[in-house]
Amino acid sequence: MGRETLRIALTGATGKVGGRVAELLAPHHDLRCLTRSPERAVRRGVPGLAVEADLDDPASLTRALAGADALLAVTFDPLRDTHDAHLLAAARRAGVRHVVKVSALAVTDPRAQDAITRWQRACEERVRASGMSWTLLRPRAYMSNCLGWADGVRDAGVVRTRHGGSLNACVDPRDVAAAAARALTSPRCAGRSYALTGPEALSAREQTAQLSEVLGLPLRHEELTGAQALRAWRARFPDELAQALLESTELQALGGKSAVSGGVREATGRDPRTFRSWARRHVAAFRPEAVTAPAALTAPAGPPVGAAATPSV
């Protein structure tokens, strides 16, 4: 790798991180975006060549990865541990040299033993044992999780979360994407793991206050009980994942997500973006007149939840 034009394959290119990685790399590299629906990728304007592939179909992955130098590995289903195995095996067969895996910072905390974190640890082990060069990206919760508050903000001026006073050093997805773009193209990132957080740890109440200031609207925070949070998650996820998300909030209440790291600067050469700057870029989503896709669950700025995202802790 280096400054030459690389052939880079991306999974998750229609998501917040993968899509931004594609935008960053498209001017300089040959991109191949693996997706079950190339038409959707084209409609969304994802740069690069959209190639049909399915994580449940190893043959399709091998075809899609043929000739690629590097791979961004973003997988989505903690209950389908074959996806990473299929992807990495196909990458080896296709001659991929370097894999950048988006994991989660919770893997470094021995107290985190929920189903999602155990899955992420297993994914990391597969990457390290793959025989390919690798980089592990371990983001804390994405700031974009707060888009799940949009309905409550628009309808009632309220944000509802579990443990609203607990701290989370959440990170802007754009910073995760910048780290991924660097890791895919710089040999200096090989064999390294990056803990990616924002510049400060904030509680949901503090985020609500900042969002209120940015919007110029009065907002209030309301606390969810454990039963209320679990009921909401069960409406969207299998019980095992809902339980994992609840366990994640309890770990956060113990201070398990408050540490700030320098990983964004180490990976990208610049400081991470603030929550306030993220909120300013997304004011339209919280305005009463906004029309958005179905919102993610109201939750304590924790798991990235969405149509094509993995619940992550």
One domain for residues 133 and 246: no
CATH number of the domain that residue 75 is part of: 3.40.50.720
One domain for residues 282 and 179: no
pLDDT recorded at residue 81: 85
One domain for residues 185 and 165: no
Q: How far is CA 292 from CA 209, 225, 284, in A?
A: 22, 27, 10
State which residues of the chain have pLDDT below 70.
1-3, 290-313
Domain residues for 147? 143-170+198-258+272-286
One domain for residues 137 and 229: no
End-to-end CA separation in angstroms for the chain: 32
pLDDT recorded at residue 4: 84
One domain for residues 88 and 100: yes
Strand pairing report for 192-196 and 133-139:
parallel
One domain for residues 11 and 124: yes
- To which H or E segment does residue 123 belong? helix 115-128
Query: Would you say residue 294 lies in a domain?
Result: no
One domain for residues 56 and 189: yes
Contacts of 287 (CB under 8 A, 6+ apart): 154, 215
Query: Would you say residue 80 lies in a domain?
Result: yes
Coil, strand, or helix at residue 222? Answer: strand
Query: Would you say residue 131 lies in a domain?
Result: yes
Query: Would you say residue 78 lies in a domain?
Result: yes
One domain for residues 95 and 109: yes
One domain for residues 40 and 178: yes
Q: Which residue has the tokens 């991470």?
A: 272
DSSP codes, 133-173: EEEEEEE--BGGGGGGGHHHHHHHSEEEEESTTSEE--B-H
Q: How far is CA 300 from CA 218, 222, 247, in A?
A: 19, 11, 12
pLDDT recorded at residue 312: 41
Query: Would you say residue 249 lies in a domain?
Result: yes
Query: Would you say residue 295 lies in a domain?
Result: no
Contacts of 75 (CB under 8 A, 6+ apart): 11, 55, 83, 84, 87, 123, 310
Summarised one tens digit per residue, pLDDT across range 207-262 is: 999 999 999 999 999 999 999 999 999 999 999 999 999 999 999 999 999 999 99
One domain for residues 192 and 238: no
Query: Would you say residue 310 lies in a domain?
Result: no
The token pair that represents 132 in the structure block: 């390919």
What's the chain's average pLDDT? 91
Rounded Cα–Cα distance for residues 190 and 193 (Å):
9
One domain for residues 31 and 90: yes
Q: DSSP label at 303?
A: S
Summarised one tens digit per residue, pLDDT across range 21-48 is: 999 999 999 999 999 999 999 999 999 9
Query: What total of structural domains would you count in the chain?
Result: 2
Query: Would you say residue 31 lies in a domain?
Result: yes
| Boundary (domain end) residue, out of 158, 181, 196 | 196
One domain for residues 86 and 11: yes
